[in-house]
Amino acid sequence: MQGLPSVDGLVRIVIVIGLLASSAEVAAQEPAPGVVVITAGDEATLGASIRLDGKPAGSVPLRETLAPGRHLIQVGQRGFVTFAKWVDLESGQVLTIPVILRPREAKRGSLLVTADVTGLPVFIDGQQRGATPLVVDGLTAGEHMVEIRSPGDGYRPFAKVVTITADQRVTVDASIRIAPDLGSLRVITNVPGAVISLDGTDIGVSPAAKGGLTSGEHVVMARATGYEPVERTVTVVAGRERVVSVRFTTASTDVARILIRANVPAASISIDGEDYGAPPVTIEPAELGTHTVVVRAAGYREVRRTCSVSPARNCEVYAELFPLGVPVRVEANVSDAQLFVDGELRGPMPWEGDLPAGSHRIEVRAEGYHTHTEQVRLEKSMRVRLIQVILSVASVPVNETARDGEADRKDEVRNTVTHAGAPVPVGVAALDFSAGWPWLASLSLRAGLTKFLDIGVWLGTFGRLTDVAISTKAGWKVSDNFSLGGDLQIGGGAGPAQRDLMGNKHPTNNFFINLDAIFSLHFPPRGALSIWMAMDFNSDRWDFADRNSNEFVTNSRQNVVRGRLGGSLEIVVTRKWNVWFEVEGIVAGDRRRVLGDVFGGGRPDSKVYARVGATFKFGRAKEDS
pLDDT in tens, 352-364: 888 888 888 999 9
Instruction: With respect to residue 116, please indicate whether it lies within any of the assigned structural domains.
Output: yes
Is the domain of 542 the same as that of 467?
Answer: yes
Instruction: With respect to residue 579, please indicate whether it lies within any of the assigned structural domains.
Output: yes
**Would you state the pLDDT for residue 154?**
64
**Would you state the pLDDT for residue 26?**
44
Instruction: With respect to residue 403, please indicate whether it lies within any of the assigned structural domains.
Output: no
**Would you state the pLDDT for residue 155?**
72
Question: Is a pLDDT exceeding 70 seen at residue 306?
Answer: yes
410 by DSSP, 3-state: which? Answer: helix
The mean pLDDT of the chain is 85
The domain boundary residue, chosen from 268, 290, 324: 324
Average pLDDT over residues 498-523: 92
Residue 570 confidence class, pLDDT cut points 50, 70, 90: very high
366 by DSSP, 3-state: which? Answer: coil
Give percent above pLDDT 70 in the chain: 90
Instruction: With respect to residue 475, please indicate whether it lies within any of the assigned structural domains.
Output: yes
- With b for 16 or more beta-carbon neighbours within 10 A and e for fewer, the 517-543 pattern comes to ebbbebebbebbbbebebebebebbbb
Instruction: With respect to residue 485, please indicate whether it lies within any of the assigned structural domains.
Output: yes
For the chain, the straight-line distance linking the first and the last C-alpha, in angstroms and rounded, comes to 134
CATH number where 163 lies: 2.60.40.10
Is the domain of 318 the same as that of 359?
Answer: no
The domain boundary residue, chosen from 324, 353, 375: 324
Question: Is a pLDDT exceeding 50 seen at residue 613?
Answer: yes
More confident residue, 90 or 406: 90
Is the domain of 337 the same as that of 443?
Answer: no
Residue 22 confidence class, pLDDT cut points 50, 70, 90: low
pTM of the model: 0.40
Is the domain of 77 the same as that of 149?
Answer: no
Q: DSSP assignment of 98-165, as one string?
A: EE-PPBPPPPEEEEEEEESSTT-EEEETTEEEEESSEEEEEEESEEEEEEE---STTB--EEEEEEE-
**Would you state the pLDDT for residue 117?**
75
Strand partners, 80: 103
Element (H, E) at 334: none
CA-to-CA distance for 213 and 124, rounded, in angstroms?
30
Give the distance, in angstroms, between the CA of residue 400 and the centroid of all CA atoms in the same chain.
Answer: 31
Nearest CA to 505 out of 497, 516, 495, 496 is that of 497
**Would you state the pLDDT for residue 19?**
62
Instruction: With respect to residue 187, please indicate whether it lies within any of the assigned structural domains.
Output: no
**Would you state the pLDDT for residue 393?**
85
CATH number where 346 lies: 2.60.40.1120
Is the domain of 353 the same as that of 300?
Answer: no
Give percent above pLDDT 90 in the chain: 32
Question: Is a pLDDT exceeding 70 seen at residue 111?
Answer: yes
CA-to-CA distance for 218 and 237, rounded, in angstroms?
11
CA-to-CA distance for 150 and 178, rounded, in angstroms?
10
**Would you state the pLDDT for residue 398?**
47
Counting runs of H as helices and runs of E as strands, what totals does the chain give?
Answer: 2, 45
pLDDT in tens, 391-446: 888 765 545 555 567 778 888 889 999 999 999 999 999 999 999 999 999 999 99
Average pLDDT over residues 31-42: 87
Most confident region among 170-184, 188-202, 248-262, 509-523 by mean pLDDT: 509-523
Instruction: With respect to residue 246, please indicate whether it lies within any of the assigned structural domains.
Output: no
**Would you state the pLDDT for residue 20?**
60
| Count of domains observed in the chain | 5
Instruction: With respect to residue 234, please indicate whether it lies within any of the assigned structural domains.
Output: no
More confident residue, 12 or 134: 134
Is the domain of 147 the same as that of 271?
Answer: no
Backbone angles phi, psi at 426, to 5 degrees: -60, 135
Domain that holds residue 284: 254-324
CA-to-CA distance for 421 and 190, rounded, in angstroms?
31
Nearest CA to 474 out of 527, 517, 536, 522 is that of 517
**Would you state the pLDDT for residue 1?**
43
**Would you state the pLDDT for residue 205?**
84
Is the domain of 264 the same as that of 354?
Answer: no
Range with the poorest average pLDDT among 269-278, 371-380, 616-625:
616-625
